[in-house]
Amino acid sequence: MNTKDLEIWKIVVGPLKTNTYILVNRLSRALIIDPGPTSFQRIIYMLDRNYITGIEYIILTHGHFDHITDAQSIKEVTKAKIVMHVNDFELLDYSKHMAYKYGVLFRYPEVDYFISSNHRIQFGNEYIELLWTPGHTKGSIAIALHKHRILFTGDTLLPKGMIYIDPINGSIDDYIASLDYLTRIAKGYIVYPGHGEKKSLKELIELARNQIKLFV
């Protein structure tokens, strides 16, 4: 999606084909969502090539390795602030272990802002809302740009309704509650998921609810 106020760039990275998103506002400032394995050099190249003046935030939708490995490297070069939910701090050691299994270099992110509930951050001339959506992991968040009616969900919503509940700190009950919550506050939104292509919130939630029947 590209408008005069916002551009969204997507790169697919790493062994799990994770979506890393770069949001660029009309002031040529950027925000990074889920910088996964091998995203660092590609992101820096894209920013330089397009004369982007800086990155304000690196937002991690959850603590799994394929969404966070390159955050620290990007932070050190750009001075961007890393944002993450505090409940997924406990996953970092596990993520390092999983990265090793996949042959991926892992660096612990030095998080600047741990959030513990819903939170708003300013990005250019608008506010972005970080929504706590536990279930996939205890600290999963979705990123809402209400002005544009779009939502970045990490792995809370996935193609074909796929569901993965983390065995360490995930919860199917929390997941169901988060689906209900997103249905209430983001009706009619377009979802940019952590893997796969964008779809309507309605379609992805319907698919997820069908999969839930296998869990309960």
Find the CATH number of the domain harbouring 165. Answer: 3.60.15.10
In one-letter notation, the amino acid at residue 96 is: K
Return the ∠ at Cα 134 (arms to 132 and 40), rounded to 5°.
Answer: 75
Q: How far apart are alpha carbons 214 and 205 in whole angstroms?
A: 15
1 is a domain residue = no
119 is a domain residue = yes
Residue 202 has pLDDT above 90, yes or no: yes
Q: Whose structure tokens read 């929504």?
A: 131
Torsion angle (degrees, nearest 10) of CA 55, 59, 63, 69: -20
Taking phi first (over 0 means left), then psi (-120 to 50 degrees means alpha), and beta for anything else, what does residue 133 get? beta
27 is a domain residue = yes
Higher pLDDT, 153 or 212: 153
SS3 assignment, position 41: helix
Candidate from 56-60, 115-119, 160-164, 167-171 with smallest mean pLDDT: 160-164
Higher pLDDT, 175 or 124: 175
Upper half-sphere CA count for residue 44 (Cβ side, 13 Å): 13
196 is a domain residue = yes
Domain tally, the chain: 1
132 is a domain residue = yes
Among 193, 87, 90, 66, which residue's Cα sits nearest to residue 139?
87
How many helices (H) does the chain have, and how many strands (E)?
5, 12
Q: φ and ψ at 122, to 5 degrees?
A: -90, 135
What single DSSP character describes residue 180?
Answer: H
Torsion angle (degrees, nearest 10) of CA 94, 96, 102, 104: 160
125 is a domain residue = yes
Sign of torsion over alpha carbons 48, 22, 17, 65: positive
Residue 96 has pLDDT above 60, yes or no: yes
**Which pair of tokens denotes residue 118?**
């819903």
Mean pLDDT of 185-192: 95
Helix spans in the chain (H): 39-49, 71-78, 92-101, 172-185, 201-212
Containing 145, the helix (H) or strand (E) segment is strand 141-145
Per the structure, the complete domain to which residue 16 belongs is given by 6-212
What is the structure's pLDDT at 3? 65
Mean pLDDT of 198-208: 95
Q: φ and ψ at 154, to 5 degrees?
A: 60, -135
23 is a domain residue = yes
208 is a domain residue = yes
Q: Please provide the average confidence, as pLDDT, over all residues in the chain.
A: 94
